[in-house]
Amino acid sequence: MMGYYLIAGIMFLVGMYVSNRLKSKFETYSHDPLMSGMSGKEVAEQMLLDNGIMDVKVISTPGRLTDHYNPADKTVNLSESVYASNSIAAAAVAAHECGHAVQHATGYSMLQLRSKLVPVVNISTRLSQWVIMIGLALLVAKASPIVMLVGIVLFALSTIFSLVTLPVEYDASNRALKWLESTGITVGADHDKAQDALKWAARTYVVAAISSIATLIYYIMLFTNSRSRD
């Protein structure tokens, strides 16, 4: 148990560090204007156009760092601070989200897999912790291990989703950076800043995946240890 708390504590601190660095990077680069003066909305619309995507809308969404691509209604949702801003950070985020739209349009396999996992993971995420808690109680009581196994399987689905998300996010960033550079929207030091911002954004997904794997291993060890004592 102490080992789990130690790992959880370390991952929490790492996660906080990456999150704070991400916010710091975007805060800094949000004050660095693009030489072209294009807003996040204009960057997104241009990237979609250059990739022959005509059926995706770019819209503004409330909040901060709430940017996302919705494949269900084909919308690139940009937070208010990105939508109207002409900063390097805004260009990087807008292009990244359009990277997902390009993935969708080209049938990128990992995005398709992640989309298929979404409804299943929504259910497993809500249920896994409760099922595992009940399963642990039953193991302590020397009862059936089936509930704990079900809980582990449910949590494993969330872990798989975290792992599948990694190539999806990195690929979207790579598409974004390649397009930004090829079009000259970000060049030289500006391109380095855009790359740095997206790098830290990607690391939040890496931390989430590692944390999920560590937790899954812990649950499996609890289960196997309890069974070995029977």
Nearest-angstrom CA–CA distance, 197 and 114: 24
pLDDT at position 1 is: 53
- Tell me the catalytic residues: 97
**Residue 111, Cα to own-chain centre: how many angstroms?**
12
Q: What is the pLDDT of residues 58-110, one digit of tens each?
A: 999 998 889 999 999 999 999 998 999 999 999 999 999 999 999 999 999 99
**Residue 15 clears pLDDT 70, i.e. is over it:** yes
Mean pLDDT of 111-131: 92
Mean pLDDT value across residues 44-59: 97
Range of the domain at 134: 2-228
Q: How far apart are CA 89 and CA 11, in angstroms?
A: 27
pLDDT of residue 3: 62
Q: Is the dihedral of CA 107, 109, 114, 117 positive or negative?
A: positive
Sign of torsion over alpha carbons 190, 196, 199, 201? negative
Question: Taken in order 161, 71, 206, 20, is the CA torsion positive or negative?
Answer: negative
Query: Tokens 């499996």 — which residue?
Result: 220
pLDDT in tens, 142-181: 777 888 899 999 999 999 999 999 999 999 999 999 999 9
Residue 196: what pLDDT?
94
88 vs 185: CA distance, rounded Å: 9
Residue 174: Cβ-neighbour burial (10 angstroms; 0-12, 13-18, 19+): middle
Encoded tokens for 84: 């109207």
Give the chain's domain count.
1
What distance in Å separates the CA atoms of residue 161 and residue 89, rounded to the nearest whole number? 27
* 16-36: average pLDDT: 86
Cα–Cα distance, 78 to 76 (Å, whole number)? 6
